[in-house]
Amino acid sequence: MAFPLPRGITPPEISFLAEMEMVSILPRQRLEGLELLGGPIEPLLPPRRATLPLWLALLLKRQRRANILPPSWLHPESLSLILDIETQHGDSKGAFSPPPPLPNQPSAQEHYQKRPVAIPHYTPDGNRYFPSSPFLPQNVAVDQGPVGEAPRLPFHWLEVGTMLLEAASDDLVDPDQTRRLLKELREVRSSKMRSGVDVLDSAAVGGNVVSLTGVGAMEIGEGRGFISGVVDGLRRIGASKEQARREQMAGEMGSGGYGATQDDDDDDDMEF
Amino acid sequence: MSYYDVDSILTDSEKLPCTFELEVPGLGVLEGNPGENIKAGTQLDLPLWLGEMLSIGARLGTSRLVTLDIPSALSERVLNALKADPRTIDLRSLAPHFYSLSERVLELFEEEEMVDVLLNTFAKRAAEIADHAHNPKGAMGQGVDFLRGLDEMERQLFRVAHEGAKEVRVWAGEAKKRP
Amino acid sequence: MYGELGNKLVQHAKRTQSLAHLPPYQTELVRAVAREVRDLDRHVAHLLNSFSAEGFNPSADPATACALLVDHLSMRRNKRCLLAYHRVRTAKLEELCWTGVDVLEQQLPAEEGGDAPGPTSMSSAQAVGQHSSLSPEEEEYFRQYSDMLAAYKGQWTDVDLTGSLEPPRDLFIDVRVLKDAGEIQTEYGAINLTKNSQLYVRQGDVERLIAQGFLERLS
């Protein structure tokens, strides 16, 4: 095959997409507004903060025209809190720390007042919609952290964190500690991904679902080949079993309706 | 499974024990005796591509040409060993395309227990493979033996897992791009 | 046993898939497999000859039917092996086309090494190096595929279809000139590429030159 890349998207591509994340900057120079394909950029007036796509923020940072204000999750304190959640959690062992809630799906147990909520946008036809990642402000800086709220890792945590450490480490609080924590988080979560094949086992044959909630973009990219390979292998080996199950189900459907059967199978099986 | 797929062609050449149900003149070539006849009751290991088609008559209940048996790679003894500890078995020495062969055998025979044993084996070994693939220094110690005993499907799995981890390390600047 | 040569061919194909280059074409093996198919075909014709008058009835003579089935399956198997072997190789050739490797030029490695090959080294090169790893048909395929790809690419002047697929981190990069490449035209004017000079240039302008080994990227 002439196409050289593996299936899915590669780390440089994921990283490229992460550069669309919006971040907060503190401009050091005035700059006129820009009309970009991705939307207009407001004029930069020095003491006033601005929100820009990461790629532009990094460019201005390299040219020393701006400082980047790190997002609140990229702070040693927040990161060690998240790391605690990842490593403890007795009851939901193997689960990932929860992702930031979506703006139109407020979390049930908590009410946030100070969280940066996505502003509803309007399509050219005037329909209201909420942007999804990467157009959610998951990486902008907030003045005071919402009270009592645990920090959450955004979808592009690894990419944004790594890029900011690389290009703007002087803007971060304790970059060395941050770097160490990011690395630790990555290792803890990566070993969780690997031990997750046990779940894949029942998921592939039983018609269940594997939850990847809270897993970041780069982590999904890293595991894509392996996970899909395992699921495909399980599907192939279990094909005859699945076939038998379907035939049995079809037989039950044919003779007297599905509801009449007193089988141990619960309704979940119907999903498949 | 595509017509041109090299792995599927090689799986097709894995052998199955077959018993001839009738005397066939001139087929001695299969036994290595060209010109001779094959007698009824002769037992031969034939590749899947031949044995499977010859056995179709038997399955349709018309005239039987040959009857098939389960290959030694999936014998009771092997399955018991896999039940005991899937990680210590050298699957490659049993059959280079162990799982693809099983897939085909399971199409021919109804073996519910075999499916469960194999599913469990695959999942347990996959977790082990992931751990080895993630180690940037490559396999060491007893891992070498384990990796040498991977079947073709598992090797593929090891390769993608290893590549995935490596690509991320290259992106993060922790590893060099391949030479 | 029928099909064993075909199997060997497919094992070659399997090995080829994980190699960066294209190993020599298995002329002998391909011929042997084709010969086996012809032999099988003759055998089938011979078996059927005796039935020419009344026609062959498989259920009346299951043993002959079985022999015919074995012959037929073996031919079909050999055909599949032959096709798969050649398909793996053509896929590799196409891949080399896209990455810009000229296989036909690479066939002459001896000329690169010694600048003035004497008559003795010439003969040894002919014995080892000059032997093409492509069959004549494959060479023709490569040539025509390259032409087709060039014609396809030529439709776009500002997009390089065979360029790098990696999204750039920066639009501009630092490069060092390894070989004199003369003057090139870019959107921002002409650049002169003299050996050992260092330049800050747009990545898109020089990607091709990096791939060809004229420039080296500095990190």
CA distances to A49, A103, A199 from A130, rounded to whole Å, are 23, 8, 33
How is residue B51 written in tokens?
A: 């044995």
Assess whether B128 and B179 both reside in one domain.
yes
Q: List, in sequence order, every residue forming a beta bridge with C174; answer none if it has no partner.
A: C200, C218
pLDDT at C121 over 50: no
- Chain C CB contacts of A12 under 8 Å are 166-167, 169
**Whole-angstrom Cα distance, residue C41 to residue C49?**
12
Q: Enumerate the H helices of B55-141 as residue ranges.
A: 56-60, 76-84, 91-94, 98-108, 112-134
Q: Which residues contact A234 (CB under 8 A, 6 or more apart)?
A: A200, A201, A204, A205, B119, B122, B123
Assess whether C99 and C185 both reside in one domain.
no
- Chain A CB contacts of C95 under 8 Å are 1-2, 4
pLDDT at C201 over 90: no
Assess whether B134 and B156 both reside in one domain.
yes
The model's confidence at residue B41, banded by pLDDT at 50, 70 and 90, is confident
Number of domains in chain B: 2
**Whole-angstrom Cα distance, residue C49 to residue A261?**
60
* Amino acid A134: pLDDT: 53
The model's confidence at residue A94, banded by pLDDT at 50, 70 and 90, is low
Q: Which of A61, A73, A45 is nearest to A140 (CA)?
A: A73
- The pLDDT tens digits of the residues spanning A122-149 come to 777 777 776 655 566 777 776 555 555 6
Q: Which domain holds residue B53?
A: 1-69
CATH of the domain at C17: 1.20.58.1030
Please check whether residue A142 is in contact with residue A72, taking contact to mean a CB–CB distance below 8 angstroms. yes
Q: Say if residue C136 is preceded by a cis peptide, omega within 30 of 0.
A: no
- The pLDDT tens digits of the residues spanning B124-170 come to 899 889 888 887 665 566 678 888 899 999 999 999 999 888 889 88
pLDDT at C118 over 50: no
> How far A131 CA sits from the closest chain B CA (Å)?
28
Arithmetic mean of pLDDT, B53-71: 74
Arithmetic mean of pLDDT, A204-221: 74
* Amino acid C76: pLDDT: 94
- Chain B CB contacts of C11 under 8 Å are 10
- Chain C CB contacts of A13 under 8 Å are 166-167
Across chain C, what does the average pLDDT equal? Answer: 81
Helix (H) or strand (E) holding A269: none
Q: Which residues contact A209 (CB under 8 A, 6 or more apart)?
A: A203
* Amino acid A109: pLDDT: 42
Inter-chain contact C167–A5, Cβ cutoff 8 Å? no
Ramachandran region, residue C213 (left: φ > 0; alpha: ψ -120 to 50; beta: rest): left
- Minimum CA–CA partner of C87 in chain A: A1
Arithmetic mean of pLDDT, C88-109: 80
Residue A104 is classified by DSSP as T
> How far C137 CA sits from the closest chain A CA (Å)?
19
Number of residues assigned to chain B = 179
Assess whether B178 and B163 both reside in one domain.
yes
Least trusted range by pLDDT, from A143-152, B147-156, C18-27, C57-66: A143-152
Inter-chain contact B5–C59, Cβ cutoff 8 Å? no
Q: Which residues contact C77 (CB under 8 A, 6 or more apart)?
A: B12, B49, B50, C2, C3, C6
Q: C interface mutation test: which of B15, B24, B176 has the most C CBs within 10 A?
A: B24
Inter-chain contact A197–B130, Cβ cutoff 8 Å? yes
Q: Which of A45, A52, A8 is nearest to A28 (CA)?
A: A45
How is residue C35 written in tokens?
A: 């010969």
> How far A3 CA sits from the closest chain C CA (Å)?
7
Arithmetic mean of pLDDT, C177-198: 81
Choice between A133 and A83, residue whose per-residue pLDDT is larger: A83
pLDDT at C36 over 70: yes
- The pLDDT tens digits of the residues spanning A250-269 come to 888 776 544 444 444 444 44
- Chain B CB contacts of C83 under 8 Å are 3-4
Inter-chain contact B165–A221, Cβ cutoff 8 Å? no
- Chain A CB contacts of C87 under 8 Å are none
Assess whether B120 and B157 both reside in one domain.
yes
Assess whether B58 and B82 both reside in one domain.
no
* Amino acid B103: pLDDT: 92
- Minimum CA–CA partner of A235 in chain B: B119
C15 within a domain of the structure (yes/no): yes
The alpha carbon of C149 is separated from its chain's Cα centroid by a whole number of angstroms, namely: 15
Percent of chain B with pLDDT over 70: 89
- Minimum CA–CA partner of A11 in chain C: C166
pLDDT at A14 over 80: yes
- The pLDDT tens digits of the residues spanning A154-177 come to 888 999 999 999 888 888 888 899
SS (H, E, C) chain C: CCCHHHHHHHHHHHHHHCCCCCCCCCHHHHHHHHHHHHHHHHHHHHHHHCCCCCCCCHHHCHHHHHHHHHHHHHHHHHHHHHHHHHHHHHHHHHHHHHHCCCHHHHCCHHHHHCCCCCHHHHHHHHHCCCCCCCCHHHHHHHHHHHHHHHHHHCCCCCCCCCCCCCCCCCCEEEEEECCCCEEEEECCEEEEECCCCEEEEEHHHHHHHHHCCCEEEEC
Assess whether B60 and B12 both reside in one domain.
yes
Domain end among B50, B69, B88: B69
- Chain B CB contacts of A198 under 8 Å are 123, 127
Please check whether residue B175 is in contact with residue B169, taking contact to mean a CB–CB distance below 8 angstroms. yes
* Amino acid A136: pLDDT: 66
Give yes or no for B29 touching C (CB within 8 A).
yes
C119 within a domain of the structure (yes/no): no
Inter-chain contact A4–C97, Cβ cutoff 8 Å? no
Inter-chain contact C66–B7, Cβ cutoff 8 Å? no
Ramachandran region, residue C164 (left: φ > 0; alpha: ψ -120 to 50; beta: rest): beta
- Minimum CA–CA partner of C169 in chain B: B171
Assess whether B102 and B146 both reside in one domain.
yes
Q: Which of C40, A233, A262 is nearest to B102 (CA)?
A: A233
pLDDT at B68 over 50: yes
How is residue B103 written in tokens?
A: 């897939």
The amino acid present at B124, given as its one-letter code, is: K
Please check whether residue B101 is in contact with residue B73, taking contact to mean a CB–CB distance below 8 angstroms. yes
- Domains of chain A by residue range: 11-195, 238-271
The model's confidence at residue B30, banded by pLDDT at 50, 70 and 90, is confident
CATH of the domain at B115: 1.20.58.2050
Inter-chain contact B10–C84, Cβ cutoff 8 Å? no
Q: Which domain holds residue C68?
A: 4-105
Question: Which candidate from C1, C10, C64 shows the least CB-CB separation from B9?
Answer: C10
Choice between B4 and C126, residue whose per-residue pLDDT is larger: B4
pLDDT at A206 over 60: no
Inter-chain contact C13–B13, Cβ cutoff 8 Å? no
- Chain B CB contacts of A234 under 8 Å are 119, 122-123
Domain end among B69, B96, B112: B69
Percent of chain A with pLDDT over 90: 11
Assess whether B32 and B119 both reside in one domain.
no
Number of domains in chain C: 2
Arithmetic mean of pLDDT, A69-84: 87
pLDDT at C87 over 90: yes
Least trusted range by pLDDT, from A155-159, A220-224, B60-64, C31-35: B60-64
Least trusted range by pLDDT, from A207-216, A263-272, C159-168, C179-188: A263-272
Domain end among B69, B95, B124: B69
- Chain A CB contacts of C98 under 8 Å are 2-4
Interface of A with C (CB under 8 A): 1-5, 10, 12-13, 15-16
Assess whether B80 and B64 both reside in one domain.
no
C37 within a domain of the structure (yes/no): yes
* Amino acid B112: pLDDT: 87
Inter-chain contact B3–C2, Cβ cutoff 8 Å? no
The SS3 of residue B68 is: strand
Q: Which of A205, A163, A171, A203 is nearest to A68 (CA)?
A: A171
Inter-chain contact A195–B127, Cβ cutoff 8 Å? yes
Give yes or no for B65 touching C (CB within 8 A).
yes
**Whole-angstrom Cα distance, residue A240 to residue B77?**
22
Question: Which candidate from B123, B163, B171 shows the least CB-CB separation from A197?
Answer: B123
C148 within a domain of the structure (yes/no): no
Whether ipTM > 0.95 holds is no
Question: Which candidate from A1, A2, A12 shows the least CB-CB separation from C167?
Answer: A12
Question: Which candidate from B122, B134, B164 shows the least CB-CB separation from A237?
Answer: B122
Q: Which residues contact C175 (CB under 8 A, 6 or more apart)?
A: C198, C199, C201, C206, C210, C215, C216, C217, C218
The model's confidence at residue C1, banded by pLDDT at 50, 70 and 90, is confident
Helix (H) or strand (E) holding A211: none
Assess whether B97 and B48 both reside in one domain.
no
Question: Which candidate from B116, B134, B163 shows the least CB-CB separation from A225?
Answer: B163
Q: Which residues contact A215 (CB under 8 A, 6 or more apart)?
A: A96, A189, A193
* Amino acid C48: pLDDT: 86
C10 within a domain of the structure (yes/no): yes
Q: Which of C29, C28, C33 is nearest to C2 (CA)?
A: C33
* Amino acid B142: pLDDT: 65
Percent of chain B with pLDDT over 90: 38
C77 within a domain of the structure (yes/no): yes
> How far C97 CA sits from the closest chain A CA (Å)?
8
The model's confidence at residue C42, banded by pLDDT at 50, 70 and 90, is very high
Domain end among C58, C77, C105: C105
